Amino acid sequence: AQSVTQPDIHITVSEGASLELRCNYSYGATPYLFWYVQSPGQGLQLLLKYFSGDTLVQGIKGFEAEFKRSQSSFNLRKPSVHWSDAAEYFCAVGGSIAGNMLTFGGGTRLMVKP
Amino acid sequence: DAGVIQSPRHEVTEMGQEVTLRCKPISGHDYLFWYRQTMMRGLELLIYFNNNVPIDDSGMPEDRFSAKMPNASFSTLKIQPSEPRDSAVYFCASSLRSDTQYFGPGTRLTVL
């Protein structure tokens, strides 16, 4: 069965500092990987996705993520965090053997200190 | 495109009442998903459709929950009778083939 683990429930960083959110997945084939962001009271917005090809993917709002097959990881990074990045971030995995179903991690809530 | 549209955005009802949540997917998308989000259980997939046909409803919690997709531009999730433990945010998402799922703004349901 597929699964996603986001080890950090909460993370606090200072504005301007770098950010890395961890995501580990379990999947029986080549995975499709996603990062979504959810602001309070809002739906989920796609930040970036990995289907194949270059293992370093660029997304919106200055985010990037790196797919590491050997570590079953897809960590999200941003070099300099802005106060508006405070939100909850979800990693998700899907792929061909699961039809089009996604499994989401439990989320990481990011707080940004001024 | 207007994105995925859900209505109502907020619903407050009393235990035992019927609740109907509505979703309009992005035009041209052939997959539609219903999710439930709670603090305790996170995001859970309830059911999904492909070309209006239910494919997997294993996430539907009980027989009190039902979902339909009468055409490509409309889906409903119904809870009858509703219970306080059904209180959650319900999201609808749509996608084209196996590509990215796009989420609606959600319906916050409170059952008193």
pLDDT by residue, tens only, chain B of 112 residues: 689 999 999 999 999 999 999 999 999 999 999 999 998 989 999 999 999 999 989 999 889 999 999 999 999 999 999 999 999 999 999 998 867 899 999 999 999 9
Confidence of residue A101 (pLDDT cuts 50, 70, 90): confident
- Count the helices and strands in chain A (H runs, E runs): 0, 12
Could you report the per-residue pLDDT of A6-51, keeping only the tens digit for each?
999 999 999 999 999 999 999 878 889 999 999 988 889 999 999 8
Q: Does B103 touch chain A (CB under 8 A)?
A: yes
Shortest distance between the Cα of A83 and any Cα of chain B, in A, equals 22
> Are the C-beta atoms of A88 and A112 separated by less than 8 Å?
no
Nearest to B74 by CA among B36, B34, B39: B34
Shortest distance between the Cα of B103 and any Cα of chain A, in A, equals 6
**% chain A with pLDDT above 90:** 75
